[in-house]
Amino acid sequence: QVRLVESGGGLVQAGGSLRLSCAASGSIFSSNVMSWYRQAPGKQRELVAAITKSSTNYADSVKGRFTISRDNAKNTLYLQMNSLKLEDTAVYYCMVVAGSVYWGQGTQVTVSS
């Protein structure tokens, strides 16, 4: 069983930065895929970034601005978000595949003008 807790969300002005963290209660060392998703009001949840043991992938809308990383020793997934835009406003969720699929509770990111 894996429990995920996101943190680091908040209110930031456009052009600013935030770093999201996703701490896992169980070991995620063997996890193959770890991802960040987001869901804006009235929209479907969408994939933002994913990381495997050997690669990273990003949605076109965040390429060059967001960086996903993982620290297996700390059982933590990160999302560094730079040059934030109004359209990045959403609830951000981490997702881990570790035998089963696990989701965090989400953290709100609000970008203001």
What is the three-state SS of the chain? CCCEEEECCEEEECCCCEEEEEEECCCCCCCCEEEEEEECCCCCCEEEEEECCCCEEECCCCCCCEEEEEEHHHCEEEEEECCCCHHHCEEEEEEEEECEEEECCCEEEEEEC
Contact of 104 with 35, CB cutoff 8 Å: no
What tokens were used for 42?
């009235």
Task: List the pLDDT tens digit at each of the 113 positions of the chain.
Answer: 789 999 999 999 999 999 999 998 877 666 778 999 999 999 999 999 999 988 999 999 999 999 999 988 888 999 999 999 999 999 999 999 888 899 999 999 999 99
